[in-house]
């Protein structure tokens, strides 16, 4: 037990003082105007995110999960199609495929970045394969150059899951603008997060943008005329106010995340018992999570327990790969041992506290606790 303050995974209150004036004045104005559905802030956020990301179109939707779902529909994925994706992600990546009646095909990941292994993707392609969903996991861009080459060779669409990678780029090209569409989440703890749910679809394809705009609003372009069955999946106007206040700071926030990660890695990379995050240099890592790899699951338990004894949070992203989840026990499930890298990483990884304002003294306390435990 310690008399230190607790260190959480994320502290959203730490950012509010910087944003308070912009958020409060924006909210007051939005409340006075009372244009709560598809109002001026949603339109402005769409324009501002499109500009920031370098996308022709950015379309606000209700969540990152919906962004994936509508992006896949816009990209022309149909019932019965196969979509190749990673088993080492949040379940929403694969759920979105199932919403369409398409089939998630899970393939193994790279053991050092935990991102999709392009060779495994290519080996899984069949005549039913329609699309690939790479996840830029923990904020590190997936190997888009190789994945895009494979997609081009087999005429497949790439829908990028950018829920954890807002602001990450590959040679100056933002994630979300490399494949045919990108899907972002504004869940509060994401690198660009609202104060509730929200999401964004990006594309340079006008026809896809039109489809997504229609689908998020009941299949309608003109009020009370419905071209197809759609959804109620609009981005909330008040969330757009908050996101607009945060967007100008996103590069600073991501830079601070990189500095936190560098301080951790500097102090932990010499320890033979653990492996620090590997930057493969394909793109810029924006450290949505800072994830360590232990030699086995017992050592992970030991370290997480030692941290919690010091009131330091840690978390496992993700303890069960998607191909071993009960929800996929049917045709997308796979027997133990079939995707060995994902299964091994899931047993050995855990993540440390990280957010832009994490104080250096707290980082050092986390580092000291790990050194003491090993």
Site residues, ligand PLP (CB under 6 A): 63-65, 89-90, 92-93, 135, 161, 163-164, 185, 187, 197, 199
CA distance 291 to 185: 20
CA distances for 188 relative to 102, 131, 350, angstroms: 29, 28, 21
Nearer to ligand PLP, 90 or 114 (CB): 90
65/275 with CB nearer ligand PLP: 65
If the CB atoms of residues 113 and 185 are measured against ligand PLP, the closer one turns out to be: 185
Cα 265 to chain centroid distance, Å, stands at 22
Are 263 and 360 spatial neighbours (Cβ–Cβ below 8 Å)?
yes
Our CB check for ligand PLP shows the closer of 135 and 304 to be 135
Minimum CB distance to ligand PLP, residue 198 (Å): 7
> Is there a cis peptide before residue 191, judged by omega within 30 degrees of 0?
no
Question: Minimum CB separation from ligand PLP for residue 185, in Å?
Answer: 3
Query: C-beta of 313: minimal distance to ligand PLP in Å?
Result: 18
Minimum distance of ligand PLP from residue 63's CB (angstroms): 4
Closest CB to ligand PLP among 63 and 211?
A: 63
3-state secondary structure of 109: strand
Measured CA to CA, the distance from residue 319 to residue 336 in angstroms comes to 14
Q: For residues 93 and 203, which CB has a smaller minimum distance to ligand PLP in the complex?
A: 93
Q: Please give the DSSP secondary-structure letter assigned to residue 116.
A: B
Strand, coil or helix: 274: strand
Gap between the Cα atoms of 205 and 209, Å rounded = 6
Which residue of this chain has its Cβ atom nearest to ligand PLP in the complex? 64
Q: How far is the CB of 96 from ligand PLP (least distance, A)?
A: 8
Handedness of CA 31, 32, 34, 35 (dihedral sign): negative
CB 170 within 8 A of CB 195: no
- Distance in angstroms between the alpha carbons of the first and the last residue of the chain: 18
- For residue 180, the Cα-to-chain-centroid distance in whole angstroms is 17
Least spacing, CB of residue 197 vs ligand PLP, in Å: 6
CB of 298 to ligand PLP, least distance (A): 27
Which CB atom, from 156 or from 200, has the smaller least distance to ligand PLP? Answer: 200
């Amino acid at each position: 037990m310690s008399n230190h303050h607790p260190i959480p995974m994320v502290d959203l209150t730490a950012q509010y003082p910087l944003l308070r004036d912009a958020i409060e004045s924006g909210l007051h104005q939005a409340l006075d105007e009372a244009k709560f559905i598809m109002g001026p802030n949603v339109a402005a956020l769409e324009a501002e995110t499109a500009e920031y990301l370098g996308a022709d179109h950015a379309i606000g939707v209700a969540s990152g999960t919906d962004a994936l779902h509508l992006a896949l529909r816009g990209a022309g994925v149909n019932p019965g199609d196969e979509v190749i994706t990673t088993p080492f992600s949040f379940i929403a990546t694969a759920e979105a495929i199932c919403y369409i009646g398409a089939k998630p095909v899970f393939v193994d990941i790279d053991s050092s970045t935990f991102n999709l292994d392009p060779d495994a993707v290519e080996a899984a392609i069949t005549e039913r394969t329609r699309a690939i969903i790479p996840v830029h996991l923990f904020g590190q861009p997936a190997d888009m150059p190789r994945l895009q080459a494979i997609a081009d060779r087999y005429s497949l669409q790439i829908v990028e899951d950018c829920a954890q990678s807002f602001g990450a780029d590959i040679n100056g090209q933002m994630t979300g603008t490399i494949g045919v569409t990108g899907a972002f989440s504004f869940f509060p703890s994401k690198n660009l997060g609202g104060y509730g749910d929200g999401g964004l679809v990006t594309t340079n394809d006008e026809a896809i943008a039109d489809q997504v705009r229609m689908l998020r609003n009941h299949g309608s372009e003109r009020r009370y005329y419905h071209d197809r069955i759609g959804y109620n999946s609009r981005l909330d106007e008040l969330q757009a106010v908050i996101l607009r206040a945060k967007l100008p700071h996103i590069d600073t926030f991501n830079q601070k995340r990189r500095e936190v990660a560098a301080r951790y890695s500097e102090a932990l990379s010499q320890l033979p018992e653990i492996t620090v995050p590997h930057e493969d240099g394909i793109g810029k890592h924006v450290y949505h999570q800072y994830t360590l790899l232990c030699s086995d699951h017992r050592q992970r338990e030991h370290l997480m327990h030692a941290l919690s004894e010091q009131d330091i949070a840690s978390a496992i992203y993700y303890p069960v790969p998607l191909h071993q989840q009960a929800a996929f026990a049917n045709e997308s499930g796979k027997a133990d041992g079939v995707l060995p890298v994902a299964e091994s990483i899931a047993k050995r990884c855990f993540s440390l506290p990280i957010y832009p304002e994490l104080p250096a003294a707290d980082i050092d306390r986390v580092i000291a606790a790990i050194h003491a435990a090993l």
